[in-house]
Structure 1
Amino acid sequence: MKKIVLTGACGALGSKLREPLSKLADELLSTDIAEAPAKLLENESFVQADLADLAAIEALMQGAEMVVHFGAIPDERSFEELLGPNYIGAYTVWEAAHRAGARRVVYASSVHAVGLQETMAGHDTDVPHRPDSFYGLSKCFAEDMAKMFWEKRGLEAVCLRIMSCTPEPQNARALHTWLSHGDLVRLVEASVTTPVTGFTVAWGVSANSRASVSNHKIPFLGYHPRDNAEDWADRLLPASKTPDPSDRAQRSLGGPFAVVPLGESGVAAIKRMSAQD
């Protein structure tokens, strides 16, 4: 490809994608509201920009064939705080990608778009929206917009419902939700290089023996995860407290996000849960 644009390039996950994406295109243009990384790759340029600024995003999209959109606030906040980066920012990315003639947007969606669904229900990629937070609602908004842009304008999209993406599983819940950094890269690479995707939803999850969701309906995407959280089960399970089956955080795909008040950090709740485990 000639050019890939990566938003959220300085974030925890976006920073893991810079090098692999740089190998898939002549030019990688990375962008973030934060300042540029200390060192850029040989074929990488960087533009500091606010996702809510349509003119700025449109300018950096020129000539892009593929957009990997990982820029956002990655946690629950008040609706007002999320409005610019997560809601308006998603619109500006799709609108600017369309105006630039891009072929596809690969989007960092989240399990929290369906976070109030039951964990034990065995969901595939067709599970309907059931957000657990304003953050999850922003992912529903972007997924619905992505589908509309595909159906009305022909702009492809792959929406990755990322679960628990960390270097190692952090708690017992992660035995079914974990996405390794290596599998994250494999998932994004597959989403970029698959010839035709239309509008596709994919679960961002590794090959966990206890996975609560399934990508069996989208084999055409060519995503083949290699890592399995079960390798950490012996360490995680003995340390865990006896689960309470009446606890909605235990029963819901969104975990603690399902029970924290709207606007209150779900990431902080997950950290507390991991510390207790």
Structure 2
Amino acid sequence: MLKKLVLTGAAGRLGSRLRAPLSALCETLVSTDIVESIEGLASNETYVAADLADLAAMTQLLKDADMVVHFGAIGDEAPWEQIHSANIMGAYNVWEAAYQNGVRRVVYASSIHAVGMHPKSECIGTDAPHRPDTFYGLAKCFAEDLGSLYWDKRGIEAVCMRIYSCAEVANPRAVGSWLSYDDLIQLVTRAIDTPVTGFAVVYGISDNDRAPVDNSKAQFLGYRPKDNAEQFAEKIFAEHPPLDPQNPADMCHGGPFATVELGNSGVARLGLKD
């Protein structure tokens, strides 16, 4: 069991689902976000309000930590200045604070949007070249490369999880790209308890029959997803018009993020249900 685990983005949609399972993996869980407080703290959990853009705050937060699970960021496309502060400088500050404190591993919530402009007709692997679809995706590319650099030069392990569609299956894209909440928890747990990871990239996706990515090179993590979105396929396809092979929003891994103007929300076009 880890002595101290830090979770950033603890008040977010996905981070909030990780708090309880992560508290079971460590003696002390320190959850952090920019909100003033959060409710329902576990008996071994404390909350610290802190800004990712503040290196000193991150350095203090990660003191004596074994690992950090970094889910804090703007979770959507946004103007460059906002992405640069929270997602790019925030990532640098987390890795630098990890280095300053001798933290062993960063478990990072990357995104499919780091490779979002690849067509889904190409079943891409974890070694696919970066091809971001937005400033948001570009920031994920930066953080992945940052993790690689800090592993090569400073020996900090990193598991970068390219999360796909972690929400209720509500559109045809999600029939292939779904990541269930249970599989998310399993993936993060494996990223923490695998003895040796070095620098690794893994897709955050469930065991979908129509999955458009190849996760085989990440099997050493022991991640074996249990859920399959095929159970929703018939209903979802009947409720939505056919996809357009000439529309990048239908044909690219990034979905609507592939067509939004830079700086404009992509999440708003996903029709997420939670």
TM over 0.5, shorter chain = yes
Aligned 1:190-205 pairs, distance under 5 A: 190-205=190-205
Structure 2 portions without partners, runs of 5+ = none
| 1:132 and 2:162 aligned | no
Structure 1: 5+ residue runs without aligned partners? none
SS in 2 for 1:120: coil
Q: What SS does the corresponding residue of 2:190 show, helix, strand or coil?
A: helix
- What is the one-letter code of the residue matched to 2:227? D
> Cα distance, 1:36 vs. partner?
1.8
Count of aligned residue pairs for this structure pair: 272
Partner of 1:55: 56
Secondary structure (helix, strand or coil) at the match of 1:218 reads: helix
1:223 aligns with 223
Moved over 4 A (4+): none
3-state SS in 2 of match to 1:121: coil
8 A Cα contact 2:180 2:206, kept in partner: yes
1:32 and 2:28 matched: no
**Residue 88 of structure 2 contacts residue 143 of structure 2 at CA under 8 Å; is this kept in 1?**
yes
3-state secondary structure, aligned to 1:157? strand
Partner of 2:35, secondary structure, is: coil
CA distance in 1, matches of 2:149, 2:191: 19
Contact 2:55-2:97 at 8 Å conserved across structures: yes
Shift of 1:214: 1.6
Residue 211 of structure 1 aligns with which residue?
A: 211
Distance between the aligned counterparts of 1:150 and 1:260, measured in 2? 34
Deviation at 1:244, TM superposition (A): 1.4
One-letter code of the match for 1:179? L
- How far apart are 1:39 and its partner, in Å? 2.3
Partner of 1:118: 119
Tell me the residue number matched to 2:259: 259
- Aligned equivalents of 1:10 and 1:35: distance in 2? 10
For residues 74-112 of structure 1, what are the alpha-carbon distances to aligned partners after superposition, in whole Å with 9 as ceiling and x for unaligned? 000010111111010000000001111111000000000
**Which stretch of structure 1 is more off in the superposition, 34-43 or 254-263?**
34-43
> Is residue 103 of structure 1 aligned with residue 104 of structure 2?
yes
2:233 and 2:155 mapped to 1: Cα distance?
44
CA contact (8 A) 2:54 2:93 kept: yes
Output aligned runs, 1:13-28, within 5 Å.
Answer: 13-28=14-29
Match of 1:155 in 2: 156
Structure 1 residue 42: Cα displacement: 0.3
> What is the TM-score normalised by the length of structure 1?
0.97
| Residues 193-248 of structure 1: per-residue CA shift (max 9 Å, x gap) | 00000000000000000000021112110001000000111210111102211111
Q: SS in structure 2 opposite 1:119?
A: coil
1:125-170 Cα deviation digits (max 9, x unpaired): 111100000000000000000000000000000000000001x211
State the shift of 1:35 in Å: 2.1
Aligned residue for 1:51, secondary structure, equals coil
Contact 2:244–2:251, Cα closer than 8 Å, also in 1? no
Mapped to 1, the partners of 2:13 and 2:243 lie a distance apart of 30
